[in-house]
Structure 1
Amino acid sequence: MAEQTILVTGSTDGIGKATAHALSRQGHRVLLHGRDSGKGRKVLAELEAATGSDRLDLFIADFSVQEQVRGLAEEIGETYDRLDVLVNNAGVFMPEREVAPGGIEMTFAVNFLAQVLLTHELLPLLERSAPARIVNVASIAHRSVGSIEWGNLPGFSRYEPYEAYAISKVGLIAFTARLARPLEGTGVTANSLHPGVIDTKLLRAYIHGGNEGAPPEQGAEVETYLATSPEAGTVNGGYFEETRWTQPSSLAADPEVQERFWEMGSGLTGAVRWADPKAYAR
Structure 2
Amino acid sequence: MTEQTILVTGSTDGIGKATAHILSRQGHRVLLHGRDRKKGRGVLAELEAATGSDRLSLFIADLSVQEQVRDLAREVGEACDRLDVLVNNAGVFMPEREVAPGGIEMTFAVNFLAGFLLTHELLGLLKRSTPSRIVNVASIAHRSVGSIDWGNLPGFSSYDAYDAYAISKVGNIAFTARLARALEGTGVTANSLNPGVIDTKLLRAYIHGRDEGAPSEQGAEVVVHLAVSPDAGKVNGGYFEETRWTQPSSLVLNPKVQDRFWEMGLDLTGIGQW
Confirm or deny: 8 A CA contact 1:193 1:242 kept in the other structure: no
2:143 — aligned with what?
A: 143
Q: Quote the offset at 1:182 in angstroms.
A: 1.3
1:178 — aligned with what?
A: 178
Find the residue that maps to 2:258 and give its secondary structure. Answer: helix
Measure, in 1, the Cα distance between the counterparts of 2:14 and 2:79. Answer: 26
Residues 12-161 of structure 1 correspond to what in structure 2 (within 5 A)?
Answer: 12-161=12-161
Measure, in 2, the Cα distance between the counterparts of 1:188 and 1:273. Answer: 19
1:217 — aligned with what?
A: 217
Q: Quote the offset at 1:270 in angstroms.
A: 1.6
Q: Quote the offset at 1:259 in angstroms.
A: 0.3
Measure, in 2, the Cα distance between the counterparts of 1:237 and 1:270. Answer: 25
Residues 250-261 of structure 1 correspond to what in structure 2 (within 5 A)?
Answer: 250-261=250-261
Measure, in 1, the Cα distance between the counterparts of 2:211 and 2:152. Answer: 32
Q: Give deviations 1:199-232, integer Å, cap 9, x for gaps.
A: 0000000000111100000000000000000000
Measure, in 1, the Cα distance between the counterparts of 2:2 and 2:164. Answer: 39
Indicate whether 1:190 and 2:212 are aligned. Answer: no
Q: Quote the offset at 1:242 in angstroms.
A: 2.8
Find the residue that maps to 1:72 and give its secondary structure. Answer: helix
TM-score scaled to structure 2, two decimals? 0.99
Find the residue that maps to 1:118 and give its secondary structure. Answer: helix
Q: Give deviations 1:86-145, integer Å, cap 9, x for gaps.
A: 000000000000000000000000000000000000000000000000000000000000
Measure, in 2, the Cα distance between the counterparts of 1:271 and 1:32. Answer: 26
Find the residue that maps to 1:272 and give its secondary structure. Answer: coil
Measure, in 2, the Cα distance between the counterparts of 1:140 and 1:204. Answer: 16
Measure, in 2, the Cα distance between the counterparts of 1:3 and 1:162. Answer: 38
Measure, in 1, the Cα distance between the counterparts of 2:272 and 2:71. Answer: 17
1:277 — aligned with what?
A: none
Residues 195-206 of structure 1 correspond to what in structure 2 (within 5 A)?
Answer: 195-206=195-206
Letter in 1 for 2:227: A
Moved runs in structure 1, 4+ residues, more than 6 A?
A: none
CA RMSD in angstroms, aligned pairs only:
0.5
2:163 — aligned with what?
A: 163
Letter in 2 for 1:153: L
Measure, in 2, the Cα distance between the counterparts of 1:273 and 1:24. Answer: 36
Q: Quote the offset at 1:272 in angstroms.
A: 3.4
Q: Give deviations 1:67-90, integer Å, cap 9, x for gaps.
A: 000000000001111000000000
Letter in 1 for 2:118: L
1:236 — aligned with what?
A: 236
Find the residue that maps to 2:111 and give its secondary structure. Answer: helix
TM-score scaled to structure 1, two decimals? 0.97
In the alignment, structure 2 segments of 5+ residues that lack a partner are none
Confirm or deny: 8 A CA contact 1:222 1:243 kept in the other structure: yes
Q: Quote the offset at 1:159 in angstroms.
A: 0.1
Identity of aligned residues (%): 84
Find the residue that maps to 2:257 and give its secondary structure. Answer: helix
Measure, in 2, the Cα distance between the counterparts of 1:222 and 1:273. Answer: 32
Letter in 1 for 2:221: E
In the alignment, structure 1 segments of 5+ residues that lack a partner are 275-282
Find the residue that maps to 2:38 and give its secondary structure. Answer: helix
Find the residue that maps to 1:159 and give its secondary structure. Answer: coil
Measure, in 1, the Cα distance between the counterparts of 2:237 and 2:109. Answer: 22
Q: Quote the offset at 1:273 in angstroms.
A: 3.9
Measure, in 2, the Cα distance between the counterparts of 1:254 and 1:211. Answer: 36
Measure, in 2, the Cα distance between the counterparts of 1:127 and 1:261. Answer: 23
Measure, in 2, the Cα distance between the counterparts of 1:4 and 1:273. Answer: 30
Q: Quote the offset at 1:271 in angstroms.
A: 2.1
